[in-house]
Chains A and B, each alone.
Chain A
Amino acid sequence: MSKNVLIVDDATVVRLLLRSVLERNGFNVVGEAANGNEAFAKYKELSPDLVTMDITMPEASGIDGLKMILGFDPQAKIIMITAIDQRKYLLEAIKSGAVDYIVKPFEDDRVISALEKALA
């Protein structure tokens, strides 16, 4: 059975691109959100198997969204997909409970292997 994914990114084109990559590879995109607050609301509503989360977003960042979701469901699987390639952010995301960290611009294979590994 295909796994349900929630895509979180403030850029419409990134959500569109990720949706296309995921659906081509057998994942089911159940929802999209454009900031950390929306991500938390959608997570509670949709209970996805996995979340892909950008970091730089308005209102509430991806790190805020990550903490909110994991505070609600400590078993949540969240992969950060961000253009920020800095140790400080990587460590904060991993310490806060992210299962992987992918730097944009992403390769499709890297995204798919990260999702498969997280869901194995």
Chain B
Amino acid sequence: MSEQELKVIEMISRMSIDRASQVFSKTIKAGSKIEIVRFQRVDISEISEEVSKEDKEATGAIVQLSGEAPTKLLFIVNLKDALKLTDLFLRREIGETKAFDIYVESTIQEIGNILASSIANVFAKGFNVEMSPEPPVVLSDYSSSIFNTVLMDEDYLTDNKILLVETKFFVVRTAFDCMLFLMPSVEATKVLLERSFANNFS
């Protein structure tokens, strides 16, 4: 992929993440911002090693965006912060949820679904790329284990590298350790580039 093509994919990712950020704020009814901290083709063995260095108990929603530009999304939250997110989602005082239960699992599932849908909506409306999310799969494990589950898919690899969009969340008055990873497949980058250039998006 040329530098110019990579730039186009990065701009599409920023548009998608900006939309996801707005939707996330509305979902938890608190001001928040999701920022891209890395947009890069990374070697999967290097990223696996990097993630395992900061291993912690986490819960994650993996969502497959199916359609013309298959893309994977991983929304991953530190276990302690998943409890806080559940309180915000259910409009409770933070601290009410004391332990991991079906409501915490379901909150992560639903936030994964809402974020993935908002990104699919940007692809569809902005670039005429038909996309829809599959029901999220929720995993509770060490973050490296969850992350490695997502990485092992040949459709997303070129020369053992994957295009990774890594984000961090900033929420007003509350510290959250959660991240969103977007992984467009090789096919997705081709389709997004075709549609972008067809719409003079360059």
Contact = CB atoms under 8 A, between A and B. Distances in A.
Interface of A: 10-14, 16-17, 56-58, 82-89, 104-105
B197 to A, nearest CB: 22
A13 B132 contact: no
A104 B114 contact: yes
B124 A13 contact: no
B173 interface: no
B130 A11 contact: no
A12 B120 CA distance: 23
23 contacts: A12-B106, A13-B86, A13-B89, A13-B107, A14-B106, A17-B89, A17-B91, A57-B135, A58-B135, A83-B23, A83-B113, A83-B118, A84-B120, A85-B117, A85-B121, A85-B125, A86-B120, A86-B121, A87-B124, A89-B132, A105-B26, A105-B27, A105-B114
Nearest to A14: B110
Q: Nearest 3 pairs between A and B by C-beta?
A: A83-B117, A12-B106, A11-B110
Given A12-B103, A13-B89, 12 more contacts: A13-B86, A13-B106, A16-B90, A56-B135, A83-B23, A83-B118, A84-B120, A85-B117, A85-B121, A85-B125, A86-B125, A105-B27
Interface of B: 23, 26-27, 86, 89-91, 102-103, 106-107, 109-110, 113-114, 116-118, 120-121, 124-125, 130, 132-135
B88 to A, nearest CB: 11
A16 B103 contact: yes
Kindly name the residue among B86, B117, B124, B134 whose own CB sees the greatest number of chain A CB atoms within 10 A. Answer: B117
